[in-house]
Amino acid sequence: MSTVIASTRAELLRLRKWPAVWVTLSAWMALTAMFGYLFNYLSYTTGDSSFSNEGATTASLLQEILPGNVPNVLVQGMPMFGGALMMVLGAIVAGNGYGWGTWKTVFAQGPSRTSAVVGSLLALATFVVLTVLATLALCFGLSLLVAAVESQAVTWPSAGDLAVSLGAGFLVMGMWALAGFLLGTVARGPALSVGLGLVWALVVENLLRGVGVLLGPVEAFTKVLPGTSAGSLVGSIVGVGGPDPTPGVLDALTGPQATALLAAYVVVLPVVTLVLVRRRDVA
Amino acid sequence: MNENVVQTRDLTKRYGDRLAVDRVSMTVKRGEVYGFLGPNGAGKTTTLRMMLGLVRPASGAATVLGRPAGTPAVTARVGALVEGPGFYPYLTGRDNLRVMARYRELPDSVVEEALERVDLADRGGDRFKAYSLGMKQRLGVASALMGDPELIVLDEPTNGLDPAGMADMRRLIVELARGGQTVLLSSHLLDEVQEICDRVGVISHGVLLRESTVSDLRGDASLAVRGLPVDRALAVAMRVAGDDAVRVDGDRLLVDLGPEHAPRLTRALVEDGVEVHEVRGVERTLEEVFLEMTREEREELEAVS
């Protein structure tokens, strides 16, 4: 156990000082601020209709960017770019170490490979949790700003809604980060794993879902994919359809089904990673 | 104390059809500097990787500090630099060592000490990616030294170092051995091994050709003789030393006699009317031994095929 803690501390130190980590996390925060608040606020004030708010009425636009809607804004970008960015993070945390030879150095330090990898996963998870919490703070900050500027009464979301939204956020973002870590481990490098992972998450799953409409077996298969479960869990919170469907947000599974599937991924992905790392030769 | 720190038994590794390491059985004794010698691609690094548990042998086994290689309890007592230093390019040298110190559960204070020992203290704040090859190599050695491990494995530690850096590295290795640490050093530089190692293992094409002390390997000293006429000098030398003990090497003769026989040989030569220009004791360098050994091996291989 002490070697797991030692490994986690070591990984936290090197991740904390890695610019690429901060670039990835900042990109997510910036996208959340833009798609969650900035564009909606601009179209609310100018009355223009942009692709992200097509058909929405002015009043509902304002509602979406006030504090009461924070639980929805927090998670609505996660199925698409949030998950993708976390996958990038996981892939670079695991993958770069093979090219740099740092896993070789780490595996020769003392902790077992299991301890070292679990430490790395815990450090990654720490960053994911902190990122979701920081996003929550960002959302509240921006929505309070909007409320102040527009002289709106502040209505807080219910604690229950917030808790559900946070939990879903941890699960979706964490699952994609773990998937990235596995991909980086399989490919022993960040480039191939990031490339394939993004094509899979952003393109292939969507195409399969399109084919699934026509072919029953494919549809059954698409229901258990990671993107489907992440999109469905978020869909069960923010709602699907309406005049402005958010890309990647689905209703293929119910909330509990999606949660169970995501939880399964969160268990299986690290186990596969560990089995792989323990067996392989590290050059 | 004659305990074996490292012991391998028929260690074998295969990459596809190629035998990278072929039944290597070697021993490293406590407190010695062991030189693992061989040309590039001979299987040195692969053998070291198996000793560290980074690579799984196809067959055979390696025991380090009395336990199977690669078990965490062993790895924690071994410091290693294998096949080039692997560090995070975006971190400073100092932060890289801090990360490794955390993995080893050592206090941050060992980091400064390690940087001092390899003369990197004033560059510890620079990013690893900005280091020269020699500095990267020294940081790798610094990392291997942290926590005073019982066994230090250094794979080509002088790679990329300038002559002064190489001399410093040799001095450091000798110092470590004096302090009681066992050093296993791989190298393709023969003079380096000759200078600082107690024992050597010679590997070529994955096969451990020989394992012995440096002096045993170099064999007995011989006498180099230059005398005219050559044929008469040859006849005299063969009469004194025996028919098989004399070789012609250019314009000189190499006689398998110790330096203590120089007066007797010289007298015999002079008495037979040979003009003696030079009689000198010569020791074979490790390089000569090595080339001889690998040539024999090549000839055997050719004979087989």
Q: Does A111 contact B at CB distance below 8 Å?
A: yes
Question: What pLDDT digit, counting tens, does each position of B84-105 carry?
Answer: 899 999 999 999 999 999 999 9
If you average pLDDT over residues B288-302, what whole number do you get?
75
pLDDT category of residue B215 using cuts at 50, 70 and 90: confident
Q: How many CB atoms lie within 10 A of CB B22?
A: 17
What does the pLDDT average to over B259-276? 85
Given B85, B90, B102, which is nearest A9 (Cβ)?
Answer: B102
Question: Model confidence at B82, in pLDDT bands (50, 70, 90)?
Answer: very high
**Domain ranges across chain B:** 4-217, 220-282
CATH assignment of B4-217, among 3.40.50.300, 1.20.840.10, 3.40.50.1370, 2.60.120.260: 3.40.50.300
Find chain A residues with C-beta within 8 A of B99's C-beta: 10, 13-14
Q: What's the confidence (pLDDT) of residue B243? A: 81
Would you state the torsion angle of the CA atoms of residues B60, B63, B64, B67, taken in this order, to the nearest 10 degrees? 130
Spell out which residues of chain B touch residue A106, defining contact as CB-CB under 8 Å.
Answer: 100, 103
d(CA B258, CA B280): 10
Q: Is the model's pLDDT at A112 over the cut of 60?
A: yes
Quote the CA–CA distance of A147 and A61 in Å, as a whole number. Answer: 13
pLDDT one-digit tens code per residue, B101-143: 999 999 999 999 999 999 999 999 999 999 998 899 999 999 9
Q: Quick one: B302 exposed, middle or buried, by C-beta within 10 A (0-12, 13-18, 19+)?
A: exposed
Measured CA to CA, the distance from residue A102 to residue A88 in angstroms comes to 19
Q: What angle do CA B50, B51, B53 make, to 5 degrees?
A: 60
Per-residue tokens: B132:
């020269």
pLDDT above 90 for A180: yes
Residue B293 has pLDDT above 80, yes or no: no
Which top CATH class is B220-282? alpha beta
Q: Average the pLDDT over A56-66 and give the result.
A: 81
Q: Return the residue of B nearest to A281 by Cα.
A: B55
Which of B183-187, B245-249, B271-275 bottoms out in mean pLDDT, i.e. has the lowest? B245-249
Mean pLDDT of chain A: 90
Residue A42, φ and ψ in degrees, nearest 5: -65, -45
Where does chain B have alpha helices with state H?
Answer: 44-51, 72-75, 93-103, 109-117, 133-145, 163-178, 190-196, 214-218, 230-241, 262-271, 286-304
Which chain B residue has its CA at the smallest distance from A100's CA? B86
Stretch B204-228: mean pLDDT: 84
Q: How many Å apart are CA A140 and CA A138, to the nearest integer?
A: 5
Rounded CA separation A93/A14 (Å) = 10
What angle separates helix B163-178 from helix B133-145, to the nearest 10 degrees? 10
pLDDT digits (tens, 9 = 90+) for B22-55: 999 999 999 999 999 888 888 999 999 999 999 9
Minimum distance, in Å, between the CA of residue B97 and any CA atom of chain A: 10
Asked if A104's CB is within 8 angstroms of B88's CB, the reply is no
The predicted structure's pLDDT at residue B305: 66
From the CA of B155, how many Å to the nearest CA of chain A?
Answer: 13
Q: What is the pLDDT of residue A49?
A: 56
| Nearest residue in B to A112, CA atom | B72
Tell me the per-residue pLDDT of A95-110, one tens digit each, with 9 for 90 and over.
999 999 999 999 999 9
CB distance from A99 to chain B under 8 Å? no
* Percent share of chain B, pLDDT over 90: 50
**pLDDT value of position B1:** 46
Dihedral angle over CA of A22, A23, A28, A30, nearest 10: 110
Q: Does B14 touch chain A (CB under 8 A)?
A: no
ipTM computed for the complex: 0.90
Residue A153 phi, psi (nearest 5): -70, 140
- A·B CB contacts under 8 A: 90
Q: Which residues of B touch A7 (CB under 8 A)?
A: 102-103
Q: Which residues of A touch B95 (CB under 8 A)?
A: 13-14, 17
**B100 neighbourhood in chain A, CB within 8 Å:** 10, 105-106, 109
Q: How far is B14 from chain A (nearest CA, A)?
A: 12
Of A21-35, A47-61, B127-141, B258-272, the one with minimum mean pLDDT is: A47-61
Q: Which residues pair with B92 in a beta bridge?
A: B127
What phi, psi does B101 have (nearest 5°)?
A: -65, -35
SS3 B20: strand
Mean pLDDT of A134-138: 96
Considering only residues A249 and A143, tell me which one the structure prediction assigns the higher pLDDT: A143
- Name which of A101, A106, A112 is nearest B84 (Cβ-Cβ): A101
Q: Does A122 touch chain B (CB under 8 A)?
A: no
Task: Annotate B156-202 with DSSP letters as a single string.
Answer: STTTT--HHHHHHHHHHHHHHHHTT-EEEEEES-HHHHHHH-SEEEE
pLDDT score recorded for residue A50: 55
Contact B86 A3 (CB under 8 A): no
Report how far residue B118's alpha carbon sits from residue A11's, in angstroms, rounded to the nearest whole number.
Answer: 25
Residue B9 DSSP code: E
Contact B257, B241 (CB under 8 A): yes
The residue-averaged pLDDT of B264-282 equals 86
Across the range A222-232, mean pLDDT stands at 90
What pLDDT is recorded for position A207?
Answer: 86
Q: Which of A3, A17, A115 is facing B91, going by the closest CB pair?
A: A17
Q: What is the pLDDT of residues B223-257, one digit of tens each?
A: 888 888 888 888 888 888 888 878 888 888 888 88
B46/chain A closest Cα distance in angstroms:
9
| Contact (CB, 8 A) for A250 and A224 | no
A114–B contact, CB cutoff 8 A? no
Q: Which residues of B touch A110 (CB under 8 A)?
A: 72, 75-76, 103-105
A6 CB neighbours in chain B (<8 A) are 102-105
* pLDDT of the residue at A55: 55
Mean confidence (pLDDT) of chain B: 89
Say if residue B78's pLDDT is above 50.
Answer: yes
pLDDT score at A243: 59
Q: pLDDT grade, residue A280 (50/70/90)? A: very high
